[in-house]
Amino acid sequence: MENDFFLFQLVDSAFPTGAFSHSFGLETAFQENKIDKPIELYSWLKSYVSGSLAPTEGVVVYLIYQAIQKEILNQGKSAYTEKYIQRLDRKLTVSKMSSESRNGGIKIGKRYLTIVQTLYPQSGLKQYARWIDSQLCYGNAAIVHGWITAYLEVQAELSVFTHLYVSVNNLLQSAIRLTVIGQTGAQMILQKLYPFLVEEAEKIIQSSPDEDDLFNNSIIQEIEAMRHETLYSRLFMS
């Protein structure tokens, strides 16, 4: 419980992962006039969470959390666990069909990794950094988040929930910059989504998924992410 307080820093909107540079298809939806009202933004975000974010990144956070906790108990990482984490990293990366989304996720993941390594040098994440340098992994924020929350010994459900929460909050900040909503409107949507995010996190924990349970069915949003690179003008990198 004491280490839960350290988690606040990692999910603060001011934590410098570079996520503010990415919209993951939201900018396309805005420019194509699919989102110009708060209710439309709410629906887009809810669909994104249930169809893509939770069943990919949310599940990976849980799987990494479980793997690292087991290795902490065993006081070392087995060769199987290393291969398992590397495989999850690759699966998560290729689950993003848009090249911009893949590259954006990698940039955010590497930045998150660099900062967390500095804050928690004993977490073992230096090994993940070595795998990235050796091109055995790409780098994903979900991997880093699952790993560091296991190291901090926060609850599994809180680990998954906070990743979903910070991802949605980052997109809401993008929506503010796109002038879809104002600051107050963003907080109202976040409040409305809060119980849904809790429910999605609980669903992952209760189902005890394995790596074969990863899926992505947010086809429309994936296409929006693909079309982003051809927009006439852009605020965001993805």
Within 10 A of 202 (CB to CB), how many other CB atoms are there? 13
For position 76, what pLDDT does the model report? 61
Report the chain's mean pLDDT, rounded to a whole number: 91
CATH of residue 103's domain is 1.10.4190.10
The answer to whether position 5 is within a domain reads no
The pTM of this model reads 0.94
Q: Are 147 and 119 in contact (CB under 8 A)?
A: no
Domain count, the chain: 1
Q: What SS3 class is residue 138? A: coil
The answer to whether position 6 is within a domain reads no
The answer to whether position 15 is within a domain reads no
116: domain range? 21-230
For 70-80, b/e burial (b = at least 16 CB within 10 A) is ebeeeeebeee
| Mean pLDDT, range 119-135, rounded to an integer | 95
Q: With bands split at pLDDT 50, 70 and 90, how would you rate the model's confidence at 3?
A: low
